[in-house]
Amino acid sequence: MRFIGNKENLVEWIYSEIQNNDIKGKRFFDFFAGTSNVGRYFKTKGYEIVSSDLLYFSYVLQKAYIENNKQPKFETLLKNIKVQSKTLFASELDLVFEYLNILKGIEGFIYQNYTPEGTKELEQPRMYFIGENGKKIDAIRQQIENWKEESLITDNEYFILLAGLIESVPFYSNILGVYAAFKKDWDPRATKQFELKPINLITGDKKHNSHNQNSMELLDKYEFDIIYLDPPYNQRQYAPNYHLLETVAKYDNPQIKGISGMRDYKKQKSNFCNADKALIELEKILQSKNYNHILLSYNNEGIMPQEKIIKLMKNFGNLNLVEYDYLRFKSNNNGQAKNKKFIKEQLYILTKK
């Protein structure tokens, strides 16, 4: 998924540094879960994961990929709906996705607020989705909710279906990467017919715990071998940039406002988007009793200055700072040309005294 700070391409490196630094123990806290990619990777490596994020759509992904350990069978649902598979070896999840993909569209909240047809009375009609896709998203989202209310699916199955929807929506969104604004002409990706994309779940037998709350509140609730920190690097809050994924996930008919139809996000503001507050929060994490190692991902453009991070962390144990030149593609301000840019990804590795 396109998500600012997504560590999908860096997890192997992080894991190799854990080996290089001889860090033992399998209880892993993915403190800033986002896409859940870090937790997913460490789950496949046999770790027991605790994960959390302020965003609800992140929680949906965590529930499906981290906490859930099984391929869903949809036993009750498949007895109640008619599905004919196009593919020979379709899994139960494929069958349910196929059923959802051919639902007739509904003019629901997404259509009414985020497509040009649904918002034509606005001075600037919103162009996040073409009308047909807005209706499709509404139909799928409502069907998943109805199945849950009718007890035709389990909680796990509910979150897996929602995760499929959340993963698919960005492929049809008419944006430059985040949802703070929509494009004023149609990106070819947005005009394709919406369909749910297959997702890959991770099976296993360890217990994992996912949360949708400020991770600071979880520090005293578990014991960790490793706390992995991947905070926001700058002042930009995440919630407004991903407001539409949040609304698809919650589907709670929120009050929205402004050109982009933003939902309120007062309760989802992160202290890590402010340099001074971020350092105070970091100190609180370092002071907590229940960990052996802290791994902090940051980069040389972050709002917390490197010398302050080093000074602070050194008070709590042995610190090793490793760096990795990472090629990032960056859009310029109007989103046109893409500049290649090397960013120094940093990993601060602390072993407690």
Ligand X SMILES: C[S@@+](CC[C@H](N)C(=O)[O-])C[C@H]1O[C@@H](n2cnc3c(N)ncnc32)[C@H](O)[C@@H]1O
Q: How far is the CB of 3 from ligand X (least distance, A)?
A: 5
Report the residue from 28, 29, 32, 114 that binds ligand X according to the rule CB under 6 A. Answer: 32
**Whose Cβ is closer to ligand X: residue 143's or residue 274's?**
274
Q: How far is the CB of 20 from ligand X (least distance, A)?
A: 20
Residues 253-272, one symbol each (x = binds ligand X by CB under 6 A, - = not), give -----------------x-x
Q: How far is the CB of 284 from ligand X (least distance, A)?
A: 11
Q: Which residues pair with 59 in a beta bridge?
A: none
**CA pair distance 211, 213, nearest whole angstrom:** 6
Q: How far is the CB of 104 from ligand X (least distance, A)?
A: 34
User: Binding to ligand X by residue 35, rule CB under 6 A?
Assistant: yes
Q: How far is the CB of 94 from ligand X (least distance, A)?
A: 26
**Whose Cβ is closer to ligand X: residue 42's or residue 194's?**
42
Q: Which parts of the chain are beta strand (E)?
A: 27-30, 48-52, 209-211, 226-229, 256-257, 262-263, 293-299, 317-331, 338-352
As separate numbers, helices (DSSP H) first and strands (DSSP E) second, the chain gives: 12, 9
**Cβ-proximal residues to 100 (8 Å cutoff; 6+ apart), any chain:** 140, 143, 144, 161, 196
Q: How far is the CB of 281 from ligand X (least distance, A)?
A: 7
Span from 49-57, 96-104, 151-159, 315-323 in contact with ligand X (CB under 6 A): 49-57
Q: How far is the CB of 113 from ligand X (least distance, A)?
A: 23
Residues 225-244, one symbol each (x = binds ligand X by CB under 6 A, - = not), give -----xxx-----x------
Q: Residue 121's Cα: distance from chain center in Å?
A: 33
Coil/strand/helix, residue 186? coil
The residue length of the chain stands at 353
**CA pair distance 308, 72, nearest whole angstrom:** 47
Q: How far is the CB of 296 from ligand X (least distance, A)?
A: 11
Ramachandran area for residue 179 (φ above 0: left; ψ -120 to 50: alpha; else beta): alpha
Report the residue from 14, 38, 60, 161 that binds ligand X according to the rule CB under 6 A. Answer: 38
**Beta-carbon count within 10 A of 23 CB:** 15
User: Binding to ligand X by residue 28, rule CB under 6 A?
Assistant: no
User: Binding to ligand X by residue 317, rule CB under 6 A?
Assistant: no
User: Binding to ligand X by residue 215, rule CB under 6 A?
Assistant: yes
Q: How far is CA 201 from CA 64, 70, 162, 296, 328, in A?
A: 7, 8, 13, 27, 28
- Contacts with ligand X by CB under 6 A: the residue count is 23
Residues 104-143, one symbol each (x = binds ligand X by CB under 6 A, - = not), give ----------------------------------------
User: Binding to ligand X by residue 7, rule CB under 6 A?
Assistant: yes
**Whose Cβ is closer to ligand X: residue 77's or residue 282's?**
282
**Whose Cβ is closer to ligand X: residue 2's or residue 207's?**
2
Coil/strand/helix, residue 324? strand
Coil/strand/helix, residue 12? helix
Q: Tell me the torsion sign for CA atoms 62, 203, 14, 311.
A: positive
Do residues 30 and 38 lie in contact, with contact meaning Cβ atoms separated by under 8 Å? yes
- Using CB under 6 A as the criterion, which residues of the chain lie in contact with ligand X when the complex forms? 3, 5-7, 32, 34-35, 37-38, 52-55, 58, 214-216, 230-232, 238, 270, 272
